[in-house]
Amino acid sequence: MKQQEYCYIIIDLKKRNLITFCIDKSILKETLSYSIPLMPHNLSAQIANLTSRIFINTNYSLSMVGLYSVSTQFSVIIDIIQSSTNQAFTPWFFGIMNNGTKDNKKEIVNLSNFLLTIYSLLYMIIGLFSQDVIILMTSKDYILAWTSVPILVIAYSIKSIYYFYVNILFYYKQASRTLFLATITGSTFDIFLAYILVPLFGIYGAAISFLIAKIIIVIIVIILSKRYDDIGYRAVNMLKIIIPSLLFMGVGLYFSYTKYMSVFSITNFCYKIVLFIIYLIYLYFTNKKAIVEIINSGILKSLFDFKKLNKFERNYMND
């Protein structure tokens, strides 16, 4: 039905001379020069992920691959939310960068830190409660899948830093051509480490190799971005936001790993909830001023003002 509607629209536009089928070689050349270097950037991570599963299947069994797949499905929720938010953040970021003032760049840093604070809540939720969800919603064969989720959560929390720095590389078109260096290097290390660690540690080896690969990618992206612009991002300050949530998550999972690894415990569940509430209180008192400033500044409203987003995108494309 949608295909038919699409055909009718094209035919109607053509009859009204509102559309022309042609190829603008100058636009095509510019587009390809920007997008082709990004192809290995997008493919390398998928290849590394697939390779890890092959190593798990070769050294263990297909059921172990299933366990790892379940754990990645839970942890990848973090990446889906972060990448989706980044799609709204990027055109706003480009618009602010076009203004080029120091105060505007400070807004970028403040909002980035605020988003990291929100992400830290997500790390806690996925890391702490994935065990309970997996035990209650899946069969007993997949119960231990949760044990590798916290490692993957740490990896995706590190990757959150990547999303902010990589926007600098996307903003400078010539810089985007070097982005594949980071992902190919990280993915190569991912494959190499998985080859060594998976036979020794199983799905934990795959998760650890993935974590190390993300650290390498983030480091390279930070170095590359500094060559083009230093808008005020500091990886150390970002880690100061992320690490407390990971420490709280580790404390919350103590009894899960030591006493209730394969069973659901209401006592352990309540313990996690109490710890999560304590973390919320910690966030409130440590970020109260920053949260109020962000809300009062109207940045969040402008971030999700789609009319402005479209304007930013048009201006960026014109530039």
CA distance 46 to 73: 14
Give CA torsion, residues 231, 234, 240, 242, to 10 deg. Answer: 70
- Helix ranges restricted to H, the chain: 2-15, 25-35, 38-59, 62-99, 102-137, 149-171, 173-176, 179-201, 203-226, 235-252, 254-258, 266-297, 299-303, 306-318
Per-residue pLDDT of the chain (319 residues; tens, 9 = 90+): 556 666 777 777 777 777 777 776 666 666 666 566 666 666 777 888 889 899 998 988 888 888 898 889 888 899 899 988 888 888 888 888 887 666 677 888 888 988 999 999 999 999 999 999 999 888 888 888 999 999 999 999 999 999 999 888 888 877 777 777 888 888 899 999 999 999 999 999 999 999 999 999 999 999 999 888 888 899 999 999 999 999 999 999 999 999 999 899 999 999 999 999 999 999 888 887 766 666 666 555 555 554 444 444 444 444 4
Angle at 79 (CA atoms; ends 159, 109), nearest 5 degrees: 55
The conformational region for residue 101 under phi > 0 = left, psi -120 to 50 = alpha, else beta, is: beta
The answer to whether 182 touches 227, Cβ cutoff 8 Å, is no
CA distance 267 to 51: 39
